[in-house]
Amino acid sequence: MNAYISNKKIMLKKILLITPPYHCGVLESAGTWMPLGMVYVAGSLQNAGYEVKIYDAMSKYHTFDDIRSQINDYCPDAVGTAAYTSSLYDAISVLKIAKEVNPDTITFLGGIHPTFCWEDILRKDGKIVDYVIRGEAEITTIELFDRIFKGEDPDVHGIAYSRDGKIICTKERPLVTDLDVLPTAWNLIEWKDYSFKTKKNSTLAVVSSSRGCTQRCTFCSQRLFWRQKWRARSPLNFVDELEYLNRTYGVDVAMIADETPTYDRERWETILDLLIERNLDLELLMETRVDDILRDKDIMHKYVKAGILHIYVGAESASQATLDRYKKNLKIEESKQAIDLINNAGIVSETSFVLGMPDETPESIDAALKLAQYYNPDLAFFLAIAPWPYSDIYKELAPFVEEFDYSKYNLIEPIVKPINMTREELNKHLLRAFREFYMDKLSTIEEMSEFKKNYMIDVTRLLINDSYLSNQMKGEMPAKVKQLIEKYLGDIKGLKKNEGSKIEVLTAR
């Protein structure tokens, strides 16, 4: 038994992990993604002798009434959930239901937002949230419940809680040093719920080969959560897990959740070599940094042979001054070079632009659109900056924040009001940039490889039917694009044909 698993087994205690049923139509339009953090926490709890269940209410599109029924039926001793900023309110609602079902149920809350905003949460909802788990939760949850169920003082490292009107925050827990030893509860996953929508009948896993990022991007939450450090699993340990998922559960698509899986060139190339050697029926989705792609230009063929299907790199801005302001450590021309390398390898390329700073104008958004067209990724997204209340950039943006409803901090709905635009105008220009980029991209679909053509057809269908854009995008569609959509897609749910060359993209819900 390794150092991260308790030797003091406590049997028959039941812990229910529930995802908050939050939806905003971004990532979920492309696939159904499992809660990887809960897979790790559940794995550690299982190994420590607890009975654990993962209930992914989000992926199932279940309601709060469904959640109440699940809690009633399972009768857990403890209920836990996790939250990022936009899902916080739904996470609190889940724990509130647990307390309503049984006031003696122990409730706990983890994730990025609670890690930094524990004091605000406990001040407002201390009667609902018994414990906030700060940072990595695998070891903390075991130690916490071992003590609670033995009637001992719960003051383990890495938590915050409220007692007798006083908010208590314990010492910060050190980061896990050996990621290879952390167990995962793949046996608790309902695999039928998870698929990558551009691949029919696929089974999708979310995996992690490393944790952390050493960069200093001021708008980012991940580097703060991981304390600007990077730790990695060994190549063999990670590839063994991919093979296990492929052979045991039929996983044929896996998203690598790491911010920078490629950080260590030698380690990453070993991973690629192992994947090539094992020749798994498995495709990989990933994100990484522009400079790592440039570094790896001589081994892009290995990316392809290893099954890398889709790579996201963050371009973020059309302005070098804004990139420097974001502390992105990136030059504009480098993004073009990296995306060209991805495209030339035949891999699907994706990037995004984080817009909506106080000095944003229609002209600067036009510049981002033109730069996106110059970069020529297969997919580009124009996002509204969300000033996480704990981020480095928050102080700069705070005077311009107009929206304080955290559920809207999802990179879609503008939170910050630019000096020269209303938030409604900003939203209109962001949607216009996306529409113009995508219409231009679709006009070249017949020039694409067969693989990318089919991929873009599937993506178009998903964006029209299932994404946040289906509710908001309207406007002129070039006649050529209209003809191509009708040729490849036929009748699409949510497409309303009008006279001339107009097609309105409307919600079907």
pLDDT in tens, 453-478: 888 888 877 777 666 666 544 455 56
**Which tops the pLDDT comparison, 323 or 91?**
91
Query: Could you give the percent of the chain with pLDDT greater than 90?
Result: 66
Q: Count how many residues are written for the chain.
A: 509
Residue 104, exposed/middle/buried by CB under 10 A (0-12, 13-18, 19+)? exposed
Domain 189-441 fold is TIM Barrel (3.20.20)
**Segment 240-251 mean pLDDT:** 98
- pLDDT, tens digit (0-9, with 9 covering 90-100), for 421-452: 999 999 999 999 988 998 888 888 888 999 99
Using DSSP's 3-state secondary structure scheme, residue 348 falls into strand
CA 416 to chain centre: 22
Residue ranges of the chain assigned to CATH 3.20.20.70: 189-441
- pLDDT, tens digit (0-9, with 9 covering 90-100), for 289-319: 999 999 999 999 999 999 999 999 977 555 5
Residue 212 DSSP one-character state: E
pLDDT of 341 > 60? The answer is: yes
Of the given ranges (199-203, 241-245, 247-251, 304-308), which has the lowest mean pLDDT? 199-203
Cα angle value 135/136/138 (rounded, 5°): 145
Residue ranges of the chain assigned to CATH 3.40.50.2300: 14-169
Helix (H) or strand (E) holding 224, with range, is: helix 222-225
Strand duo 253-256 + 283-287: pairing:
parallel
Using DSSP's 3-state secondary structure scheme, residue 289 falls into coil
Q: How far is CA 256 from each of CA 45, 462, 484, rounded to the nearest angstrom? A: 23, 21, 33
What residues form DSSP beta bridges with 416? 401
pLDDT number for residue 4: 42
Domain 14-169 sits in CATH at 3.40.50.2300
pLDDT number for residue 492: 44
**Segment 184-210 mean pLDDT:** 95
Of the candidates 178, 193, 216, which has an alpha carbon nearest to the alpha carbon of residue 54?
193
**Segment 247-265 mean pLDDT:** 95
pLDDT of 47 > 90? The answer is: yes
pLDDT number for residue 501: 30
pLDDT of 506 > 70? The answer is: no
Q: How far is CA 237 from each of CA 241, 279, 434, 495, rounded to the nearest angstrom? A: 6, 16, 40, 47
d(Cα 126, Cα 128) in Å, to the nearest integer? 5
Residue 172 DSSP one-character state: P
Is pTM, for the whole model, over 0.95?
no
- pLDDT, tens digit (0-9, with 9 covering 90-100), for 342-390: 999 999 999 988 899 999 999 999 999 998 998 999 999 999 998 888 8
CA 194 to chain centre: 15
pLDDT number for residue 226: 66
Of the candidates 310, 302, 313, 319, which has an alpha carbon nearest to the alpha carbon of residue 352?
313
Residue 451: partners with Cβ closer than 8 Å, 6 or more residues away: 346
d(Cα 164, Cα 260) in Å, to the nearest integer? 43
d(Cα 251, Cα 203) in Å, to the nearest integer? 5
pLDDT number for residue 443: 85
Residue 112, both tokens: 């990025």
